Structure 1
Amino acid sequence: MSDRTAVARVGDVALWVVQAAVAAYFVYSGVMLFGDGLVGKFEEIGFGQWLRYLTGVLEIAGAIGLVIPPLCGLAALGLAGVMVGAVATELFLVENGGPVLPAILLAITLAIAWLRRDTILALLPGRR
């Protein structure tokens, strides 16, 4: 195995470790959205509790997708979209919002999507 191949393999393993950690966080976060702890926050947002459940489903689905090789890039892109909404919500709809964590998760999920862009492109028609 060449040095370049070994470095690429180590980088791939490191990226999978990051993906697994991010997936674990989103499972935790998604499950928390089904509890009563965030009802007040979603009342403050003003769109109704359906948004809380939808966000929980999207986070859990994205977490599952992050650990499925053909879907990991698309899942990261979807989670980035959820985090764009979270950052905007924390900045503009929640009094004393905290946009830092969603912004960090946005950056991480965008990085994963970029680094796994080959899996996204493979899903396009005629790209297999």
Structure 2
Amino acid sequence: MDTPHAPEAVGRRMNVTLWVLQILTGVFFIVASSFPKLIAQSSAVEIFDQIGGRWFMYLIGAFELAGGVALLIPILSGLASLAFIGLMVGAFITQLVVLDGENALTPVILLVIVAVIAWGRRERTAELIAWMRSRR
């Protein structure tokens, strides 16, 4: 590989890696995380009865569904990952404080993944914010 082209190759690899993370994470949030909440699966109901009730379960499920879809939309992926950072911090704290902490590692792993996506898509997020400000 020639030195002048090395940054382009690294950029392409990073973009592909980010897309793989976005697709896998988006599908996870849509299928494995939001659907059990939105269809009131018994295991989700049991957990949310301890932490805030069914209205909260449906709200979090809707956030996860919207965020999972947004991870798959280029201009929204960075913003969605930032929102998921907040959601995963909340999930981690809830696991430790309210629940038994047995599943506390899951939100930490997801937090790391969405933080990588947020960092990798920071330019797109800045473009989106600049575009929104220009519309005022």
Residue 111 (str. 1) matches residue 116 (str. 2): yes
Structure of higher RCO (CA pairs closer than 8 Å, 6+ residues apart) = 2
Corresponding residue number in structure 2 for 1:58:
63
The runs of at least 4 consecutive aligned structure 1 residues that moved more than 3 Å come to none
CA shift digits 1:67-116 (9 cap, x unpaired): 10100000001111111110010000113542100111011111111111
Corresponding residue number in structure 2 for 1:7:
10
1:33 corresponds to which of 29, 34, 37:
37
Q: Which runs of 5+ in 2 are unaligned?
A: none
Q: Which amino acid aligns with 1:83?
A: M
More helix as a share of residues? 2
Cα distance change, pair 7–83 in 1 and its aligned pair in 2 (3 A): same
TM-score between both structures, scaled by the size of structure 2: 0.85
Corresponding residue SS for 2:43: coil
Counterpart CA distance in 1 for 2:101 and 2:95 is 8
Counterpart CA distance in 2 for 1:21 and 1:105 is 11
TM-score between both structures, scaled by the size of structure 1: 0.90
Counterpart CA distance in 2 for 1:84 and 1:120 is 20
Counterpart CA distance in 1 for 2:100 and 2:25 is 27
Count residues with an aligned counterpart: 125
